[in-house]
Amino acid sequence: MLIQADAAADSMLDHPFDLSRLGDAAVEGLVGTTIGPYKLLQRIGEGGFGVVYMAEQEQSIRRKVALKIIKPGMASSEVISRFEAERQALAMMDHPNIAKVLDGGTTDTGHPYFAMELVNGVAITTYCDENRLSTRQRLQLFTHVCRAVQHAHHKGVIHRDLKPSNVMITLHDGRPVPKVIDFGVAKALHQRLTERTLFTRYGQMVGTPQYMSPEQAEMSGLDVDTRSDIYSLGVLLYELVTGCTPVDATTFRDAGFDAMRKMICEVDAMKPSTRVRTLDNITA
């Protein structure tokens, strides 16, 4: 629902609004409204339970930020717990290759939001391919990603959804700098990230299938540890070097939930040497 009349816009700004009651069409309608000291300029991203806007801070310091709020209609207690956990996880970290949290607060209706460093960039795989980077150059960028993930692990946080779209490349003085983003499904190792309990319910798989470790896909009730992120980094490295993931996304496309989990846990990846046997296969 777009806000067209001045009166309607004033009403939205002057009175508390409940984000959880808005439909998907209302996400764009929030553009132009204000949350805390931030004016929403445009929607730039959307995840499982959050929406990210480019916003401008209008008080104290004028700057553009990425402002994340809970997606309309999804403000359940578990989603709020996950959202607060992501905010706290990012606040604990201080690394040049992890997007920084700048501020946080709650809306007038009590829903959390946080402002992050605005990362203007593209996915690491897209950047490497479009700029025709050599294998050595790709590995140099990947090394920075590994150090960022190691920093998160040292802070007791597992990302659990490492994939190209969560590793952005931005330019600083003309040089590519990786930024790990979206700790929306992050998990604490040794400490609580929030006073509320963060958990994964049975039957709810967290992560992206192509990059997910078998342990994470099993959902056996046993906690995953840092090795799950290391597995995902291995898949990302494989994709950076070969141009595809070990198990292609199309394999999962038509699979049911149980079949997908079984493939992740049991199916061996095809060796690169067997993907194309002859030049005839390429030209066929």
The whole-angstrom distance between residue 217's C-alpha and the CA centroid of its chain comes to 18
Q: State the catalytic residue, choosing from 161, 173, 223, 254.
A: 161
For residue 59, give both structure tokens: 């008080």
Q: Clarify whether 14 is annotated catalytic.
A: no
DSSP letters, 161-185, are: ---GGGEEEEEETTEEEEEE---TT
CA distance linking residue 61 with residue 44, whole number of Å? 22
What are the DSSP E strand ranges found in 48-193?
A: 50-57, 63-70, 101-106, 112-116, 122-123, 157-158, 167-172, 175-180, 187-188
Please give the Cα distance from 167 to 186 (Å, whole number).
15
The structure tokens 């956990």 sit at 85
84: tokens are 């607060």
Q: Is 256 left (phi over 0), alpha (psi -120 to 50) or beta?
A: beta
**Which of 123, 127, 98, 113 lies closest to 51, judged by CA?**
113
Q: Active-site positions?
A: 161
